[in-house]
Copies of this chain bind each other. A is one copy, B any other.
Amino acid sequence: MRENGDRAVRPDETEVRWLDEHESEAWMSLAGLVIRLPQMLEAQLQRDADLTFFEYSVLAALSEAPKRTLRMSRLAGLTNGSLSRLSHVVKRMEKRGFVFRELDPDDGRYTNALLTDQGCAKVVEAAPGHVAAVRTLVIDALERKQLADLKDIGDRVMKRVVPEGPFLP
């Protein structure tokens, strides 16, 4: 199965509209951001909590879910990962004792991922450092107005990148 419901960016190449100076500057700035910021957050989590950003996202999402439980497919959507990637990661974290899986009793097609007490303790331990990093690198770097602008901009782009929304309703 392909990700994103078989939707892909297949640009029409008949006529190329190159980026003007302003567009290019904005894109260069964003390009640096989308590459470097994850690297930094990844490094902080890896060093201080021995977790990847994706692993942290999985634990965090589960910790906020009712009964600390989410279907694999929904969890993948929430954490911006593919189902395949999630499956591998959950298997690893299962060995570490942070999560476990069970077939949905009502519908055997679904698999539920559940957070263990140990996994919960792990997020609680890792969260402060991660949040502090996010604050230092992003939040505190921006004015309150910019924060609002950023949300609008992010939402707009996400509507193009993931039209169906990051999580299935």
Contact = CB atoms under 8 A, between A and B. Distances in A.
B154 A142 contact: no
Q: How many copies does the complex hold?
A: 2
A9 B158 contact: no
Contacts of A48: 10
30 contacts: A3-B39, A8-B44, A11-B128, A11-B136, A16-B127, A17-B135, A22-B144, A22-B151, A23-B139, A25-B151, A26-B139, A26-B151, A27-B134, A29-B150, A29-B151, A29-B153, A29-B155, A30-B138, A30-B150, A31-B80, A32-B80, A32-B154, A34-B34, A36-B161, A36-B162, A36-B166, A137-B161, A138-B160, A146-B156, A149-B149
